[in-house]
Structures are given as C-alpha cells and as structure tokens.
Structure 1
C-alpha cells in the first residue's frame, strides 16, 4: 500500500501566488468620440422599456391636456414635434389612462408604438414613432386619433336585381 505525505516548501521555493482578477483595458475617449459642447450623451444600450415609453407618452399627453409645461418634454421630442405641441389646441382636461402598449421595431434606429387611451367615456387611439439619436430616443411622430364627431351616416343599400 502506498502512503502519501505532504512536504513543506524549501526556503528558496516561492509560494504559489493567487492569479490576479481579469482586468479589462479601458480606452481613453478620443476627441472625435465626445459630443459637442452642451450636449449630454446617454449610453445607448437598446430601446427604452415599455414602462419608459409609457411614461414619455403620458408626459406628452399631459402637455396636450395643459397639466404640464411643454418645456418639460423638450428633450423627449424632436424640434418639429415640439413646435407642434406649442401651437396645438388643448385636449379636454379629463384624466386619461394608457392601455397596453404594442411595440414594433422596423429598424435599429426606429421604434413604433400604438395603444389606446381612455379619457373619461371616450376611447382614443395613439400612434407614436421614436428615433434613436446621439442623445437618446426622441419622439418624432405623435398622432392621437379621435373618433369622428357627429352622427354616423348609414350607407344606402340597393336591392339586387334578381
């Protein structure tokens, strides 16, 4: 039978050292990587979550309802949509609830959202488009589709000749 015995280290033999943790070399930012002066850049990992999109749509709806200043959503929308929000007629100031959000990403740089809005007894449709920019995702299109006002017209049906 074989016997095993541990031997001690000799005086000249170095002890085994633990291996250092893996380090990732970080590249220093170059001048071309930096944004223009006065611009903030967020890390663009991917599209915003449904919760973030619902919050942005809710903020735009509050601007349209007059419960929020338009300047608060200026960095969330593109300049053309911001100008439209400033001149747009106000919605009735009833509370609204955003329904389930339906998302579609036709390209890596675009995201489209559709949902329903409950505003009192009315139900409205909402369609929005978000675009990825250097400073984050901004809303470029925002369409609130209201039902037609007025009585519905009946289409006359002609009897078939038989």
Structure 2
C-alpha cells in the first residue's frame, strides 16, 4: 500500500499533472501502473481517512494538549513504530516540523496502515503526506521535504 501512496503523491502532488477527481479513472490508472485492485482500495481509503482527520473533532482535542507534555505510546503503537521511528518523530517535534496535532495525525495514519513493519523512509513519506494535507504547514512541509530528499542523496544520516 505504501508503494501506491508514494506513487500517487509523487505523480500528482509533485508534478504539474492535474489530480484526477474521478475515482474510477484513478483506479484504472493505478491498475495500468501494475498495482492490485485490493491494495488500490486500501490506499484510497487511507487517503480518505487522512482527509477526514482535517474535519474531525479529534484535531481540536489534540490542539489543546500542552506542547511540553510527553507522548506515551500504546503497545500497539510501539509495535508499529520502533525506537528509531519514535525518536525521529520526537526530533521533528523538537525542530518544530511537527506539532502535537500533526504528530498525532501521523501516528493515526501509521496505525491505519496494514503492515507490522514500518521503515523510517515510509514514516518520512507519511509525515510528508500529512503535512501537505494540513493547511498552514507549508514551512514544515518544505523542511520535511528537504530532510527527505537530502537523506535520499546521502547528505543527512
């Protein structure tokens, strides 16, 4: 599913190609690209859930959390997000790329994946997708994009 999400993000968000609104056309495009129907449905549902986070009451509850509070992860979250991933989330909060609100959105979308093993690179892409989806985070998005692409070229370790 991460491959489909990354494909969609790179193909439609990072290009001048106009995003197809028709879901049937989008599904056909993904099928032609070699993705399986079931995985396409899961990825599109994941994206719908991401968009729904924008409108949910959960955002206002998260926004009320103190910025000095410590995030305690559940067992399920710790199983999905290893120490390296949790440390990266903490780092991004400390450098003001993520807020408590966007961090929680990232964790929600990580838990929405149907995978037990989450690579750090996958987490970075999820963070990028969340930041892109939340208005007012343009600077954080740009910084995260720089972290992602410089890490891929070997500059950031």
TM class by shorter-chain length? Answer: under 0.3
**Which of these two proteins has the greater Rg computed from alpha carbons?**
1
Higher relative contact order (CA 8 A, sep 6+): 2
Q: What TM-score, normalized to structure 2? A: 0.24
Q: Tell me which protein shows more helix as a share of its residues.
A: 2
Q: Tell me which protein shows more strand as a share of its residues.
A: 1
